[in-house]
Chains A and B, each alone.
Chain A
Amino acid sequence: DAGVIQSPRHEVTEMGQEVTLRCKPISGHNSLFWYRQTMMRGLELLIYFNNNVPIDDSGMPEDRFSAKMPNASFSTLKIQPSEPRDSAVYFCASSSGLAGLIQYFGAGTRLSVL
């Protein structure tokens, strides 16, 4: 069974450009989470969805960040405009209500904003 799939694995962009990160959760999972990981702040939850509905977006740093989940098998995290301080590794994770709280992570997208 395929795990959580994220694309791209690496993204290098210039300040001011729009960046879109993509995630395909594990089939059958009904919760999806977006995290940001940096050396300084560790793993931070940005937003999570349950049954495609955003439940908690209090971790989204500012209006430049937006996330969508148009269906159960796809989610995007968009940064517009991007800034150098957005450079980080962004992870998507999914979980199934039936399996409790165990979240399965994708391999991440390493974003560098120059």
Chain B
Amino acid sequence: GQQLNQSPQSMFIQEGEDVSMNCTSSSIFNTWLWYKQDPGEGPVLLIALYKAGELTSNGRLTAQFGITRKDSFLNISASIPSDVGIYFCAGQKGGSQGNLIFGKGTKLSVKP
């Protein structure tokens, strides 16, 4: 089936660090979404992107819709402990009725 390659798979952060993650595909997508999942909960939407080149912020989070429409990036600035969790990208190709394809997630943990 369709695949989104999300990287890194996991990363450790120290409070105050900036964090970057990305999602790539061999296919073109019309929409990119970024979700965060906390332990024992369902994914929660962080940012939605609808146009190639679009740059959107939500507090300390910034996401971009790649110009080629085959990738997207999420940055977290000045991370705090509550940023830990799993971040998922999701893409939708034109024509499907809301069918999203999810990446496998980037797990953010705090450095011991």
Q: Mark A60-103, 1 if CB is under 8 A from B, else 0.
A: 00000000000000000000000000000001010100001111
- Decide: A31 and B98 in contact? CB cutoff 8 A: yes
A-B contact count (CB 8 A): 52
Q: Which residues of B contact A102 (CB under 8 A)?
A: 33, 45, 48
Question: Max chain A CB contacts within 10 Å: which of B31, B33, B44, B99?
Answer: B99
In the assembled complex, A108 has its CB within 8 A of some CB on chain B: yes
B interface secondary structure, majority = loop
Interface size class of A (residues with CB under 8 A): 20 to 34
Q: Which residues of B contact A43 (CB under 8 A)?
A: 43, 88, 102
Q: Which residues of B contact A34 (CB under 8 A)?
A: none
Q: Which residues of B contact A45 (CB under 8 A)?
A: 99-101
Q: Which residues of A contact B51 (CB under 8 A)?
A: none
Contacting residue for B42 out of A31, A101, A105, CB 8 A:
A105
**How many Å from the CB of B65 to the closest CB on chain A?**
13
In the assembled complex, B97 has its CB within 8 A of some CB on chain A: yes
A interface with B by C-beta (< 8 Å): 4, 31, 33, 42-43, 45, 48, 50, 55-56, 91, 93, 95, 100-108
